[in-house]
């Protein structure tokens, strides 16, 4: 991974591993101590979608003999229930990596970093984008913040909210939506699938993006909750 993944804003948390030795690929984690992220690398809350880069500087592993999987790599908002799948895919990638490079700790670190970039980062970035859009809408609805602008239309690509709205009406969009939620393939593969794009656009044109079932008002909800 060359560039750090995006985060949903306020809850990015970067960790680092440091020691008294200079940078070299033959580092041994037993000589190093985990230290707090430096100023500017930490942005507040620890809950929610966050990312810890295994090689923050890019290229050279921070430490060898120390592999990050599961929550040590990132946590994601529970709304899409991705934590277990990401942790298990990390465990499988770690087993493959150690099997492939049993005696080369630096190669292990770089290989696992690549696999994390392929198998974890796309879902992390997807969740961060979904969270950011949802948070902006909630801030608008609950706190009266400015209404978030509608997502820019990208040719040949639909968004998660568009797909979610279309999934209530169209079977192809429904299957595509659950492919993403079930983590069957990288989200972008679904968002840019020409058939998915066509059926989602057509469905939204015919039915709009509002939920198909009438939603209760705030007053109705409060009444139901205090009954
Ligand atoms: C209530 C709840 C509901 C959830 N529901 C879902 C869901 O429906 N779907 C989903 O995908 N995800 C769900 N998750 C998230 C999911 O459980 C996590 O994303 C996943 O377990 C992360 O795996 P992990 O291996 O990184 O960490 P963990 O599962 O937390 O494993 C870390 C392990 O390390 C151990 N440990 C910690 N410190 C030390 C130490 N110093 N020495 C030795 N051992 C140590 C801990 O005891 C623990 O066993 C849920 C989480 C919670 C809390």
pLDDT digits (tens, 9 = 90+) for 153-189: 899 999 999 999 999 999 999 999 999 999 999 999 9
Over residues 141-152, the pLDDT tens digits come to 899 999 988 778
Q: Which of 14, 11, 15 is nearest to 34 (CA)?
A: 15
| Distance separating alpha carbons of residues 10 and 8, to the nearest angstrom | 7
Whether 21 shows a pLDDT value over 80: the answer reads: no
Q: What is the pLDDT of residue 56?
A: 53
Number of domains present in the structure of the chain? 2
The pair of structure tokens assigned to 159 is: 């968004």
Whether residue 160 is found in the same domain as residue 119: no
Whether 127 shows a pLDDT value over 80: the answer reads: yes
Final residue before a domain boundary, out of 71, 94, 126: 126
Taking residues 77-106, report their average pLDDT.
Answer: 93
Whether residue 101 is found in the same domain as residue 169: no
- Interstrand relation of 50-51 and 74-75 (parallel, antiparallel or unpaired): antiparallel
Q: Which atom of ligand 1 is nearest to the CA of 76?
A: 19
Whether residue 159 is found in the same domain as residue 95: no
Whether residue 34 is found in the same domain as residue 83: yes
Owner of token pair 């070299």: 24
H or E segment at 84? helix 83-100
| Distance separating alpha carbons of residues 80 and 172, to the nearest angstrom | 20
**pTM of the predicted structure, to 2 decimals:** 0.77
Q: Give yes or no for a contact between 134 and 11, defined as CB atoms under 8 angstroms apart.
A: no
Whether residue 114 is found in the same domain as residue 58: yes
The pair of structure tokens assigned to 189 is: 């593969």
| 123 Cβ closer than 6 Å to some ligand 1 atom | no
Whether residue 75 is found in the same domain as residue 25: yes
Domain that includes residue 177, residue range: 150-213
Q: What is the pLDDT of residue 75?
A: 87
The pair of structure tokens assigned to 180 is: 């993403």
Share of the chain above pLDDT 90, in %: 46
**Top mutation candidate among 72, 73, 77, 78 for ligand 1, by most atoms within 8 Å of CB:** 78
Final residue before a domain boundary, out of 111, 126, 141: 126
Residue 198, in any domain of the structure:
yes
Give the pLDDT band (50/70/90) at residue 215: confident
Whether residue 122 is found in the same domain as residue 156: no
Q: Which atom of ligand 1 is nearest to the CA of 69?
A: 26
Measured distance between the N- and C-terminal CA atoms of the chain, rounded to whole angstroms: 52
| 52 Cβ closer than 6 Å to some ligand 1 atom | no
192-198-204 Cα angle (round to 5) = 110
Whether 79 shows a pLDDT value over 50: the answer reads: yes
Give the pLDDT band (50/70/90) at residue 49: low
Residue 136, in any domain of the structure:
no
């Amino acid at each position: 991974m060359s560039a750090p993944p995006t985060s949903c804003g306020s809850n990015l948390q970067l960790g680092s591993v440091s020691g008294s030795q200079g940078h070299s690929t033959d580092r041994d984690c037993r000589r190093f101590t985990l230290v707090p992220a430096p100023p500017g690398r930490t942005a507040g809350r620890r809950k929610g979608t966050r990312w810890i880069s295994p090689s923050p500087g890019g290229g050279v592993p921070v430490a060898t003999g120390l592999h990050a999987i599961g929550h040590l790599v990132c946590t994601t908002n529970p709304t899409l229930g991705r934590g277990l799948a990401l942790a298990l895919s990390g465990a499988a990638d770690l087993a493959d990596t150690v099997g492939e490079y049993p005696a080369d700790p630096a190669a292990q670190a770089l290989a696992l970093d690549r696999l994390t970039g392929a198998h974890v980062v796309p879902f992390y970035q997807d969740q961060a984008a979904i969270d950011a859009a949802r948070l902006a809408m909630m801030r608008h609805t609950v706190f009266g913040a400015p209404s978030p602008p509608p997502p820019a239309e990208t040719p040949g690509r639909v968004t998660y909210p568009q797909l979610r709205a279309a999934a209530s009406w169209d079977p192809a969009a429904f299957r595509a939506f659950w492919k993403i939620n079930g983590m069957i393939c990288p989200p972008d593969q679904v968002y840019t699938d020409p058939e998915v794009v066509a059926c989602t656009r057509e469905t939204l044109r015919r039915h709009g993006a509002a939920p198909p079932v009438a939603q209760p008002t705030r007053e109705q909800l409060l009444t139901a909750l205090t009954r």
